[in-house]
């Protein structure tokens, strides 16, 4: 692996330790549905830690991509690469479910899972996880720097269902917009032991068909969740909520529209419930970068990011902390050179 790859792997949170395993590893560079599914299928039983790099482009899916394995090996699945898989900044990798299929299902018995820099769009599931199911029994699950747009689930979690029975669930720096679920339109994080981490995500305009269930973000299970620096806004139906959990949790420096009754944290610091003020970019443009006047700028918890490791960036590859403090949400703004003119 070249130095760029090593820097990419170094951004993985401490809990995963992918890239430092003593196992052998196999690297795939794929550029089509067929080659991506072939890499996933091979990785299920090759006895190695597997690194699957996916080139930028739109992958129109007539069947959903799947990975199911009980091997005790790690899987790293990363999009955004150039044709030679040397540059991870080449553009978006869009897995398009065409409103017919769930773009990706990953089920693991153990080993650690990292999904990074993928866009899950127009997915559909008649059950759970319209965009992505990332499930592990004994290993960790991390979904980072990914986007979810226009996915639909007739069951739980329109965008993402991330779960681990005895590992750590880690959701960092993701965007979910306009996803819909029968129960929860955005993200469901499920974990049964230890600490789960949900940090610096932006969840906007996701919808739960059942207003008694939160539309944006739900944490479930017997673990304790650290929920920090997230924007969870405009996901609530009339009489509904944006965020809800009956699980033990702390909330630090989030911006949440409506919190469901009974979602009582053991720690509550710096929480806001105000319009995030995203950039205005035109009639046909949707941009969740923060306006320079946004109350999210410099309002995040630095400690929440520091406890997870180093080398983090935002969804646009900018440093995670540009000004004195981290911003709330998936994007980091630069006010140091503010000239008084918003984009």
Spell out the per-residue pLDDT of the chain, length 343, in tens.
444 444 444 445 544 555 455 567 899 999 999 999 999 999 999 999 999 999 999 999 999 999 999 999 999 999 999 999 999 899 999 999 999 999 999 999 999 999 999 999 999 999 999 999 999 999 999 999 999 999 999 999 999 999 999 999 999 999 999 999 999 999 999 999 999 999 999 999 999 999 999 999 999 999 999 999 999 999 999 999 999 999 999 999 999 999 999 999 999 999 999 999 999 876 666 789 999 899 999 999 999 888 877 678 899 888 887 778 999 999 998 655 444 444 3
282: which residues sit within 8 A by CB, 6+ positions away? none
The full set of domain ranges for the chain reads 3-275
Query: Among residues 67, 75, 81, 76, which one has the least CA distance to residue 30?
Result: 81
pTM of the entire predicted model: 0.93
What six digits make up the tokens of 143?
């979904």
CATH for the 3-275 domain, from 2.160.20, 2.40.128, 2.60.40, 3.30.1490: 2.160.20
What six digits make up the tokens of 89?
């900044």
Q: Is 228 helix (H, G, I), strand (E, B) or coil?
A: strand
CA distance 46 to 71: 9
Query: Among residues 271, 276, 297, which one has the least CA distance to residue 287?
Result: 276
């Amino acid at each position: 692996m070249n130095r760029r790859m090593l820097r990419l792997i170094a951004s993985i949170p401490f809990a995963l330790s992918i890239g430092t395993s003593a196992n052998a590893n196999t690297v795939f560079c794929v550029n089509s549905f067929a080659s991506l599914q072939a890499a996933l299928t091979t990785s299920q039983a090759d006895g190695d830690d597997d690194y699957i790099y996916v080139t930028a482009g739109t992958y129109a899916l007539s069947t959903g991509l799947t990975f199911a394995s009980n091997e005790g090996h790690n899987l790293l699945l990363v999009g955004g690469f150039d044709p030679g898989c040397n540059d991870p900044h080449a553009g978006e990798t869009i897995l398009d479910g065409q409103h017919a299929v769930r773009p990706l299902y990953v089920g693991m018995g153990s080993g650690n899972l990292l999904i990074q820099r993928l866009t899950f769009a127009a997915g559909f599931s008649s059950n759970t996880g319209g965009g992505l199911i990332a499930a592990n029994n004994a290993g960790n699950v991390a979904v980072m720097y990914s986007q979810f747009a226009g996915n639909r689930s007739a069951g739980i979690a329109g965008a993402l269902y991330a779960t681990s029975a005895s590992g750590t669930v880690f959701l960092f720096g993701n965007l979910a917009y306009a996803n819909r679920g029968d129960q929860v339109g955005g993200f469901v994080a499920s974990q049964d032991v230890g600490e789960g981490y949900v940090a610096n995500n932006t969840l906007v305009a996701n919808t739960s068909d059942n207003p008694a269930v939160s539309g944006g973000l739900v944490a479930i299970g017997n673990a304790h969740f650290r929920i920090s620096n997230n924007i969870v806004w405009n996901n609530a139906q009339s009489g509904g909520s944006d965020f809800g959990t009956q699980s033990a949790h702390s909330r630090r420096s989030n911006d949440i529209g409506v919190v469901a009754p009974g979602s009582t944290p053991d720690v509550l610091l710096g929480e806001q419930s105000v319009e995030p003020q995203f950039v205005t970019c035109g009639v046909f443009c949707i941009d969740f970068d923060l306006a320079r006047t946004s109350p999210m700028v410099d309002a995040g918890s630095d400690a929440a990011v520091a406890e997870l490791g180093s080398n983090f960036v935002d969804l646009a590859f900018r440093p995670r902390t540009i000004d004195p403090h981290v911003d709330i949400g998936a994007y980091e703004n630069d006010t140091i050179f503010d000239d008084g003119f918003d984009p």
